[in-house]
Chain A
Amino acid sequence: MTDIEKLTDEELVEKIRSNDYNLYAVIIDRYKNKLLRYAVNIVHDDDRASHIVQDSFIKTYTNLKGFNTNKSFSSWIYRIVHNESINIIKKYYKEVSILDDFDFGSDENIEEDFEKKEVVLKVGKCLKEIPLLYSEPLSLYYIDDKSYQEISDILRIPMGTVAVRINRAKKLMKKTCQKI
């Protein structure tokens, strides 16, 4: 592992802001697949999700000097993708089914674990069936491995509300998944 790869996101941001802009490629590589998966879970359309992620990386770069490095960069960039996705939903929202053969490009080798792949696909289908209000915190918690605090920072809602929504989402998922 090179020295650059050992740096935290916030340390990288500091370096990028000091004119070492080539390091922004490291940030993009770290986040592009995670953010694409997150955007797909919101808009259910891989092309739109790709554009959302690209626009979000551009927006992140232009506003990089406004980021407070004492805070989590991850939460900040997820928040930007959330806002972009919500804007797209408001503009074009149509019910578009998630592509079954869509590869999220995760670092994990899910091909080897067929059972897990089945679960992920089923969860993806169930998530699509429940309202975004509940599916978004649920996917952030279980798929993106975010803590309640991070979800609170991304969605800008109190932690208590995050807990309530995840709890309701689980109940809704249970009902929905049994039907699918």
Chain B
Amino acid sequence: MSKDIKNITEDIMNQIEQGKIKMKPKIYFIIGSIITFIGLISALIVSTFLFGLIRFSLRTHGPMGEYKLDQIMSNFPWLTIVFAIVGLILGVWLIRQYDFSYKIKTWFIVVGFVLAVMITGWMIDVTGVNDSLLKRGPMKGMMSNYFNNNNIQPGMGWRK
């Protein structure tokens, strides 16, 4: 048998007795779980909002109601898509940290998360929560900036 492995019990127990190895407190793991959960919910909310913003920007059009490819391309929210995708990747990665996740195939988790984001985004859009966000709440500033930067008047092309 390897000499190292024969002495392993003694070595480790000596280190424990001398206080060189210490158990991390329970609170460390509780805080870790809470942060993971908050991160997951945040990733879901941010991705949903950003997908809602993409859907909105694709419905907006020029003052005369025209839809032109170059206008769509120039106004297309590429950065929003990048953030939405980063939010999705982060969300899927956080789900993978949970014990149950490995029992489910990765592609199933990815599809499930994307579907959850899209369905929630669609429901928010249909129920008019987007309108509330536009008029008040934490997203008001962001939406106003988006409209100003893209020369869009609020209500233009908005679902009635």
Contacts and interface: CB of A to CB of B under 8 A. Distances in A.
A136 to B, nearest CB: 15
Interface string A24-52: 11001100110010000000001101110
B25 interface: yes
B105 interface: yes
Determine chain A's interface SS by DSSP, over half rule: helix
A54 B4 contact: yes
Determine chain B's interface SS by DSSP, over half rule: helix
Interface of B: 1-2, 4-5, 8-9, 11-13, 15-16, 21-26, 28-29, 32, 99, 102-105
A21 B8 contact: no
Contact of B12 (A54, A65, A156, A158): A54
B102 A158 contact: yes
B9 to A, nearest CB: 5
Interface stretch (A56-64, A110-118, A120-128): A56-64
A159 B104 CA distance: 10
B15 A58 contact: yes
A62 B12 contact: no
A129 B23 CA distance: 39
A158 B24 contact: no
Contact of B11 (A29, A54, A65, A152): A54
A177 B25 CA distance: 49
